Structures are given as C-alpha cells and as structure tokens.
Structure 1
Amino acid sequence: MEAIRLTQLSHGGGCGCKIAPAMLAEMLRTLPQAQLFPNLLVGTETSDDAAVYKLNDQQALVATTDFFMPIVDDPFDFGRIAATNAISDIYAMGGTPIMALAIVGMPINTLPLTVIQKIMEGGASVCAATGIPLAGGHSIDAPEPIYGLVALGLVHPDKIRRNSAAQAGDVLILGKPLGIGILGSAMKQDKLDATGYQQLIDTTTQLNRIGSILADNPAVRAITDVTGFGLLGHLLEVCRGSNLSARIVADQLPLLSAAVPLAQQGIGPGAIARNLASYGDSIYVAEQVPEWLQRMMADAQTSGGLLVSVVPDSAENVLAEFHAAGFAQASVIGTLQAGQPGISVQ
C-alpha cells in the first residue's frame, strides 16, 4: 500500500479540481431558474453552499454533493478529508447533518481493493464522528480516483444562513487558516515535511460543526465555507449576493505557517491562477500586499473554514465561540460596506 501514491494518479487534487468560477458561471447560464418551486428556499441563484427545500414550517432539507481527486497519498486520510469537506456545506447553511451517501469512482485495475476500502473507511469514520449513517451511494470504474459524499441535513427555515444575507457594517470572521492547496501541491511535488503534512491533516479533517451553533445566533447574518474558489472567490459570492463591497486587512489573515515559505517559493495548485483570472476587475489589492499573499487568498482550500458575516457589536463574542470550539486561528479579517460588489485588500 505504501508504494501507491494516490496524488500521482490524478491531474488535480482536493477542491483544486473545481472548475474555475467564471467558467462554471457560464456553464450554468443557460439552465432554467427554479422560481416554479416555491418550497425551494435556496437554489443556484447566489452560488450558495447547498440547496435548501422547505418540508414544513419547522423543517427544511439541506442537500449538497461534493467529491474530488486525492489531495494526499494516504487512502484513509483522503477519505476523511473528502467526507469532512462535503459535510461542511451542511454546516455552512446553519444545518445539522442527518445522512450521507458515498460517491466512489476508482481505477479498479490500478488500485488494490485494500486501498479503495481504506478510502471508504476514512469517509465512513467521519460520518460516524458526525453521528450520521453512511447509508449507501454509487460507484463507477473511473480513470482517476474520486471520492466524496452526498450530504443531507435539516435546518429550521428561519435559521438558514445564506451567503446573500450580509449587511453593510458587518464584520468578517474566517474560521480556519489559509494555505491548504499550497500544502497539497507541495506534497504532490515531494516538498512537504512532516510538520506541513500534520497541519494539512489537522485543518482539513476539522469538522465545521460550529455552523449549526452559529445559526442560533441572530447576530450571525451570513455564512459560507471557503473551498475551491479561494477566500477571494467565496467572499466575492457573498458580496454579489448581498450587493455589498468588502475590505480585507491583509495582515489579519490567518495562515498555515508551513504554507507561507512554500507560497513564497511560488508553490501552489493551478487553481490559483484560474481563480485569479476569474475574479476579473472585482478585486483590488494594494501595492504593499506581497504577491505570495495574494496567491494564498486565491488558493483553493479543501475543507476550509467558515466565513461569517457578523453584527459589529457581536464580533468579539462570535470570535470567542470559534476559539472555544477549537478553531484556534479564527480571526477577524475585514468588514463589509455599501458599494459596488467587489473586494479591496489593504
């Protein structure tokens, strides 16, 4: 098993496999809108984290799917990361997970059965830790390894946290540090040391359970999770959905310490360049912000942190909730204000 490197069997890894946001928007442009379904409370209109369908006055179903190719070589860790990442979308809507289904695509003539079993066991272990059943799924013979989940959850209709509900004056808090995609790229290039790998695993397997807790707090207005489009891309979705502009304070950004020197060397996934190209002229970065830090803000995060928009007077308390829940590097990173949707990095 040790001789097989999963990251060498795929052209990309983790959420870096995502199609760039500009291309995805064009792909979705001709699809019909969902206005004919009044119980569909959240659809594709604002690029939110999951779909939400009202069941009754007390319950709405949260549904999402997420899968990708290996970001690490260890099969069990790959399964854990993919499952944690998929379930995060439920938490990002303020929901509580109730069930999952596995999505499995494996090159069965390349990978031993024991390796495939370890991947699936990793995913199942996260579902068990979440307290939900892994109740089935679907598998295919694929040219590259693919694993993920369909995740389902429940939320009270009044507690849904959309990415489009932010308001001017809100404070932005990021729950996890940036640099996951950079660490994954370094591993693929045999440039990641043991410290970097541990940071990668610790960050990507930390469940964003705090999302369902924050949904009980009316001071938390909007939530999204930062994944393949990078911090800038997912914050831009918040800005466009809420018709606001954002200001990020660069030196307040939480960063994975092992990723910083790698970013300074130019190491990172191809998704960084694709993401930066997709943002267009919606991003302004001050001259004093170094290029490597700009790349970290566009880095494709896999199982990244929650990005929340909070009433200013409650920001300190919400940040304390993050810290108490084990998100040690959670930080206030900026604010939202009235203006043309876009982001200024100072």
Structure 2
Amino acid sequence: MLDKPAEPTPFRLTSLAHGGGCGCKLAPSVLRDLLSEQPPGSPFERLLVGTETGDDAAVWQLDDETCLIATTDFFMPMVDDPFEFGRIAATNAISDVYAMGGKPLLALAILGMPLGKLEPAMVREILKGGASIAAEAGIPVAGGHSIDAPEPIYGLAVIGTAKPETIRKNSTAEAGDVLILTKALGVGIYSAAFKKEALPPPAYAEMIGSMTKLNRIGTELGKDAQVHAVTDVTGFGILGHGLEMARGSGLALEIEAEALPLLDEAGALARAGYVTGASHRNWASYGEAVRLPTDLPDWRRHLLTDPQTSGGLLVACAPEAATRVLQQIRAAGYDKAAIIGRARAGEPSITVA
C-alpha cells in the first residue's frame, strides 16, 4: 500500500464541498422521478440487469459462461485527508460489483477538481488512495477522465465479471428469507459529528476502517444457492435500500431496530443530534411504504435513515442457511454482521419492530 503524505492538509478538504460521501446522492423519490421515463432495457436480450429495480450495477451476458458487470460511483469528500478520501471513494465504487456477486476486473477514475483551490500534490494523494484500494481488490485503475469542477469529486467506473448463475440481484428475495447486514450502521452520523469537530479520534478510526473495508464477501455469497438476493447499503440508508429489495422482490420486509449493528458511538451521537441532511431527505422519500412503531425515538429513526458511505451488504438467504451464512460472513472479517429481520409475502413495504 502506498504511504500517506507526512504533512497535514493546510485546510479542511470538506470545506470545499456542500456535502460528502453517499450523503450527496439524490433522494430516492427524486431519482425514481428522474428515471420514470427512461426506456426499459427489455429490447436488449443480453441486458440481465438494467435500471428497472434500482440495482447496484448493470449486467450484460456475454455468453453462456460470462456476464459483464458495469457500475460507476463518485462523490465529494467526507474527510479532510485526501489519501483517505481516495480510499473511501474507491472502496464504495468497487462494492457494487461485489454486491452483484461478481469479481472486479478493472477501474477507470472519475475526477473533478477545483483548479486553483487544491494543490496538485493533494490531488495526487486522492488518486494514490484510490489506486491503493484498487490494488487491494487486485485490479488496476487503467485510465479515466478529469474536469475542472467547482467542488472536489472523485470516484471510479468499475467493470467486473461473473458467471450467470452467481449474479445476485436486489429483486430476487423470497418469502421466508432471513435478512443479514454485514457492516454496522452510523457512518452518516459519524460524518455529521466530524464536520462539527465532535468526533473522537477512536470513532474516526472506526469510521475509516468501516468505509475502506472491501465487500469482497459478496463474490463468495454469489456462489451460494441459498443466498437469494444481495444489495449494498449506501446513501438511501438501510430503509431505502431495503425498500428497493422489497419492491423489486414483491415482498414485505420486517426489520428489528434493536438487532441492527451499529458503530460504537452511533447511538450516543444520534441522541446528541448529529444527523445529516440526507437522512431527513431519505425519510421524506419513503412515504407510507415504511411503518415504524409509534414509540420509536427519533434517534433510532435517524439510524434507520442514516446514509452510509461504503456500507455493508444486505443479504437475503434461506432461513435454514442463515446461521451458516452469518458465520461465513463473520469469519471473513465482518465481525459486526448480524441477522436483522426477514422477508414475508405481502405488499412491498418495510415494517420496523
């Protein structure tokens, strides 16, 4: 892995951006409206996954043995260290390939930088950070595109491959499936505290560790016939991405609020009011499809709507396989993975207990 620069950033990188991380994403309702008139992908027989269900990546079947997975993801900085910003953005982008059950093959960089505001050395560190994570995933950053932009933007377009039978969509959960979440929630809450210089150093290290942990377990889950559906949890929060799974699969999901894994200080910081604007936009987008207990405190609701940057995978698997799959995920290094609920027959919705 490439070394970080010895000298500190002379100013806060986040001060150049109006938002950061996956909290920059358009609200789910806005995105659905923008895509509502897009032509369906059905005329293309080899397009196995397009825009219809809001899945993590596009999938094109090349032949009987190979599918091509294509995705892109980029955002503005949520940390001030340019090297770490690059690492986070790259981890987040590569995650989409893992979420489809694939293996990444190569990446292209997407770079927008405000000329005259950032020293070239800082931009180089962003690129080094992204390249270091790509190397960890075993892929090159083989090119890219850059523009002069009013705010710093970085991410990757990623290409991956998979066998047709290992592709895992967000729309193929089955009634009775158990839901597993592989990473803890609270990244958005941590980032809100960080911007106000209220995040303790151990919590900052925990946040970086979570956001730069590759979701490579998704490749292995795609090989398991008892794993029916997978999606990664990012800017729409656990409720938003869970709702995409519910709608795509035509099922009702039930989530246990107290079963959700959390970053160590997430609960305390949520109680203290550290919440992102994206969290509020997410909640306004869900509508009546999400049902919460009448006595659920606001801080718990904020955890449910919290936008995750480079979050974990939401996995739907057969109930008889749930314990085995959870143990496999934890053994792979996702020690906070937990069973958080189940899917059942019913109108597409999420009920939180």
Structure-2-length-normalised TM-score: 0.97
C-alpha distance in 2 between matches for 1:323 and 1:159: 21
Deviation at 1:85, TM superposition (A): 0.2
Matching of residue 204 in structure 1 with residue 211 in structure 2: yes
| Equivalent residues of 1:204, 1:304 under 8 A apart | yes
Matching of residue 308 in structure 1 with residue 315 in structure 2: yes
Matching of residue 75 in structure 1 with residue 82 in structure 2: yes
> In structure 2, what is the equivalent of residue 144 of structure 1?
151
Deviations 1:71-124 (A, max 9, x none): 110000000000000000000000000000000000121000110000000000
Query: What amino acid is the match of 1:225?
Result: D
Deviations 1:209-232 (A, max 9, x none): 000001111010000000000000
Deviation at 1:288, TM superposition (A): 3.5
| Deviating more after overlay: 222-231 vs 188-197 | 188-197
Matching of residue 62 in structure 1 with residue 57 in structure 2: no
Secondary structure, counterpart of 1:165 in structure 2: coil
Deviation at 1:2, TM superposition (A): 2.2
After the TM superposition, list the runs of 4 or more consecutive aligned residues in structure 1 that deviate by more than 3 angstroms: none
C-alpha distance in 2 between matches for 1:8 and 1:262: 22
C-alpha distance in 1 between matches for 2:18 and 2:108: 25
Deviations 1:252-306 (A, max 9, x none): 1100112221111121210001000000011111134321111111100000000
C-alpha distance in 1 between matches for 2:203 and 2:267: 10
C-alpha distance in 2 between matches for 1:41 and 1:103: 25
C-alpha distance in 2 between matches for 1:192 and 1:8: 16
> In structure 2, what is the equivalent of residue 161 of structure 1?
168
> In structure 2, what is the equivalent of residue 34 of structure 1?
41
> In structure 2, what is the equivalent of residue 237 of structure 1?
244
| Equivalent residues of 1:244, 1:337 under 8 A apart | yes
Secondary structure, counterpart of 1:314 in structure 2: helix
C-alpha distance in 1 between matches for 2:295 and 2:335: 27
Q: What is the total number of aligned residue pairs between the two structures?
A: 346
Matching of residue 133 in structure 1 with residue 154 in structure 2: no
192, 195, 198: which one aligns with 1:188: 195
- Share of identical aligned residues, percent? 55
Secondary structure, counterpart of 1:192 in structure 2: coil
Secondary structure, counterpart of 1:2 in structure 2: coil
| Equivalent residues of 1:243, 1:340 under 8 A apart | yes
Secondary structure, counterpart of 1:164 in structure 2: coil
C-alpha distance in 2 between matches for 1:222 and 1:206: 21
Deviation at 1:24, TM superposition (A): 0.6
> In structure 2, what is the equivalent of residue 337 of structure 1?
344
Secondary structure, counterpart of 1:73 in structure 2: coil
99, 122, 133: which one aligns with 1:115: 122
Alignment of 1:84-99 (within 5 A): 84-99=91-106
C-alpha distance in 1 between matches for 2:66 and 2:11: 45
> In structure 2, what is the equivalent of residue 253 of structure 1?
260
C-alpha distance in 1 between matches for 2:35 and 2:294: 35
Deviation at 1:193, TM superposition (A): 1.2
RMSD: 0.7
285, 290, 297: which one aligns with 1:278: 285
| Deviating more after overlay: 89-98 vs 289-298 | 289-298
Structure-1-length-normalised TM-score: 0.99
Deviations 1:158-205 (A, max 9, x none): 111000000000000000000001111111111111011011101000
> In structure 2, what is the equivalent of residue 324 of structure 1?
331
Segments of structure 1 that go 5 or more residues without pairing to the other structure are: none
| Equivalent residues of 1:195, 1:258 under 8 A apart | no
C-alpha distance in 2 between matches for 1:329 and 1:34: 37
Matching of residue 16 in structure 1 with residue 23 in structure 2: yes
Query: What amino acid is the match of 1:22?
Result: S
Secondary structure, counterpart of 1:23 in structure 2: helix
Secondary structure, counterpart of 1:196 in structure 2: helix
| Equivalent residues of 1:323, 1:329 under 8 A apart | yes
Secondary structure, counterpart of 1:135 in structure 2: strand
C-alpha distance in 1 between matches for 2:290 and 2:27: 16
C-alpha distance in 1 between matches for 2:118 and 2:74: 18
Query: What amino acid is the match of 1:342?
Result: S
C-alpha distance in 1 between matches for 2:347 and 2:14: 40
C-alpha distance in 2 between matches for 1:13 and 1:74: 13
Query: What amino acid is the match of 1:207?
Result: L
C-alpha distance in 1 between matches for 2:275 and 2:115: 29
| Equivalent residues of 1:99, 1:135 under 8 A apart | yes
Matching of residue 216 in structure 1 with residue 232 in structure 2: no
105, 129, 134: which one aligns with 2:112: 105
Matching of residue 225 in structure 1 with residue 232 in structure 2: yes
C-alpha distance in 2 between matches for 1:345 and 1:190: 32
Query: What amino acid is the match of 2:60?
Result: Y
Deviation at 1:243, TM superposition (A): 0.3
C-alpha distance in 1 between matches for 2:184 and 2:297: 18
| Deviating more after overlay: 54-63 vs 2-11 | 2-11
| Equivalent residues of 1:196, 1:259 under 8 A apart | no
